[in-house]
Each structure stands twice: as structure tokens, then as C-alpha cells.
Amino acid sequence: MAYDVSERRACKTTGFERSSQRYRARRDPQTALRIRMKDLAAVRVRYGYRRLHVLLRREGWAVNHKRIYRLYNEEGLSIRAKLPRRKRAWRYRAGRPQIIAPNDVWASCPTRCLTVVLSGF
């Protein structure tokens, strides 16, 4: 929707500075660096931005870690979080033998991770 209001009046009404309204970013898009980062991240999937920074520095790119971090996030190259470990109790639920006597006790063998029934404590 367009209104017939001057830029000066609109900025004064909203409290927005005219210098901010007219600002145009002149930053280099770093396309060659972005392409190289994507290539390295595709080959080395588990590397984060710190390791990619080391590899890029070895190749001769004069960039600091902060720029690599910013580009890494903008390109969406973040490493996926590992899946949480599921509870392991389900492994032992089906194979348990029945308890026969009142003093039968469940115990886990630490060396073989097997569930055994011990009697007569």
C-alpha cells in the first residue's frame, strides 16, 4: 500500500532516522568463499566451522573465524545434533526368567551385560 507522504515526514512520524532508511549494505557477498565452504562441508560432513576455518586458512584464504562462523550459519551448514540415546531397558524386558522363590534377586552381570537370576541370598 502506498501513501502520498514524503520520506522526511514518514520518518519523523515513526521516529525512524532517514540515514537508516537510506542505508544500503556494501559488503562483499563472498561468493567464492561460500562455494568453497560448501564444498568442504559436503566432503567432511562432521566438521564444524572451527575445523573448516583451519582448512580454509591452510588453503590460503585470509579470513578470520568470526567471518567463517557468520557465513557458516547463513549457509545453513550447522552440524545436526546427534540423536539422543534411547533407554536400554526395553532390551531386557522380554528375556527375563520367572522368579520362583521369595529370595530370588535380579542382578546384572557387568562384564557381559546379561541379566541373570541369583537364588538363595
pLDDT tens by residue, 75-111:
999 876 666 666 555 555 556 667 777 777 655 555 4
Q: pTM of the predicted model, to two decimals?
A: 0.52
Helix-helix angle 31-43:49-59, to 10 degrees: 120
pLDDT of residue 88: 57
Q: Report whether 50 contacts 65 (CB < 8 A).
A: yes
pLDDT of residue 115: 45
pLDDT tens by residue, 18-68:
999 888 889 899 999 999 999 999 999 889 999 999 999 999 999 999 999
CA distance 19 to 68: 29
Contacts (Cβ under 8 Å, ≥6 apart) of 96: 106, 115
Extended beta strands in the chain, E state: 105-108, 115-118
